[in-house]
Amino acid sequence: MQLNLEELCEGVNPARRQLLRDLPFNISAPVTELAESVREFLKIELNTQLQWKSNEQALKAWRSAIEECGIFVFKDAFKLKAISGFCLYDERFPLIYVNNSRPVTPSIFTLLHELAPP
């Protein structure tokens, strides 16, 4: 997928703002501070999140925000049900795969869990 993205995008990630490139991660900072900086970068305020009417709406909103920040998100049914998802780091075309055969709430967790930088 990363090779296809590179070819499709002519080697340039189309996102103006890229989370993994533009947001400095201080891994020694408290996790709450890191989470807040990611939330700010993704432009999803807690009040906005509390207004979402369903888990499906939440997944779509998180996915959209993450994709707008240069990380490509794919969903597919995995043969191994125990695998919730994975990420493949790349400086230009990072991607997250989420197991589409799992319930929505664990998919949201997986999406955000795999968002963590390498």
**Percent share of the chain, pLDDT over 90:** 77
How many domains does the structure of the chain reveal?
A: 1
Assign 81 a pLDDT band (cuts: 50, 70, 90): confident
Buried/exposed code over 95-107 (b: 16+ C-beta within 10 A; e: otherwise): bbbbbeebeeeeb
pLDDT for the residue 118: 59
Q: Which residue segment(s) compose the domain that 62 sits in?
A: 2-8+17-114
Taking residues 72-86, what's their average pLDDT?
91
Taking residues 69-94, what's their average pLDDT?
92
Full-model pTM: 0.90
Taking the C-alpha atoms of residue 51 and residue 36, their distance in angstroms, rounded to an integer, is 18
